Amino acid sequence: MSGYVEKYICGKAALDYWGVPAIRGKIEPPDMIFPEEYVIFTDKPVYRPDRASIHTCSIPGADQYVEGQACTLPLVFLQVALEYTIHELIYLGLQICSYGDGNRPRSTVEELHACADELRGHRGRRKALRAIRYIENSSRSPMESILYMFLRLPNALGGCGFSEIVLNKKIVLDGSKTYFADLYVPSCKLDIEYDSEEFHSSSSAVTRDRERSAHLEAEGYRVVSVGYSQLNNIKAFRNLTRQLSRLIGKRIYIRARKFFENFVALRDLLLRKGHSIRSRFRKIHLHEVPWYSGIRITYGIYLAAWNRLIRHPNRSLVLTRAP
């Protein structure tokens, strides 16, 4: 091949290049070192040395999604889409669209969608578009992202289905005070705050949080604080979501058979087990999920599908009613 051809960092190595936070320990092993990968935008054969992984891309318009030495995050999101589960991909998207240094997001949902919509020949496009439906801008921490997934995702993906929830909504009070709600439900003016032990356990932080809640409640807002233990403990999580269900005015009724395996997948992400390989042949037990309305009936459907999977491993889990 004559002439010089520019190569760009791509794939998981590009996530490091752009400083996407909290990937290791959640969806990758804590000590994971991503191999160097590069992409060349050409439809011609290229020399591939053993010491580097070189990919080629001939999709029209893909070469516009580069900056400096690397592919931009919207293109990287497509490149890694097939390497992650749907939950890991949604989490990755939330972290890509989170706030970085200088109070600016690394990328936006709109940019992710525009790239996926344009690059129609990309292998990861279909899965990326599915994940983008559940991604929001402006997450400020990994735990905000995970709490958002637990509450916002539909039952079929293991969440509570509170589809109104938005991330980091700006609230301006009459007294000219401005706050940002971690998770916000506009219809009932509900502010859901994730209080980490690192930033909310000191006496000054407790005083500041109480003052903040008092100001918001005086203006008609409702504030619910969530700690790690309420996500980690199944019974505490059920009580929390039932409280939120009453405040939001939306009943949690489980109808989706996939709720069981996907709720456990979300728990794996919370407990930093998302990078582990979890067999699809492991049966989920009722004590591993919160006891919502509809759970008993839907669990019978899940068991029937799981038993079919054990008998016929090569078949998909078709949704049918339990006998």
Report the C-alpha dihedral over residues 248, 251, 252, 253, rounded to 10 degrees.
-160
pTM to 2 decimals? 0.91
CATH superfamily of 144-248: VSR Endonuclease (3.40.960.10)
φ and ψ of 173, to 5 deg: -90, 165
d(Cα 323, Cα 125) in Å, to the nearest integer? 38
43's tokens: 């439809």
User: So what's the pLDDT on residue 2?
Assistant: 44
> CB 203: neighbour CB atoms within 10 A?
7
User: So what's the pLDDT on residue 77?
Assistant: 98
What does the pLDDT look like over 188-244, one tens digit per residue? 999 999 987 665 556 677 788 888 899 999 999 999 999 999 999 999 999 999 999
Share of the chain above pLDDT 70, in %: 87
What does the pLDDT look like over 86-122, one tens digit per residue? 999 999 999 999 986 666 788 999 999 999 999 999 9
Q: What is the mean pLDDT of the chain?
A: 88
Please enumerate in sequence order all residues whose Cβ is within 8 A of that of 212, keeping only pairs 6 or more positions apart, or say none: 179, 223
Range(s) of the chain covered by CATH 3.40.960.10: 144-248
Residue pair 78/116 in contact by the 8 Å Cβ criterion: yes
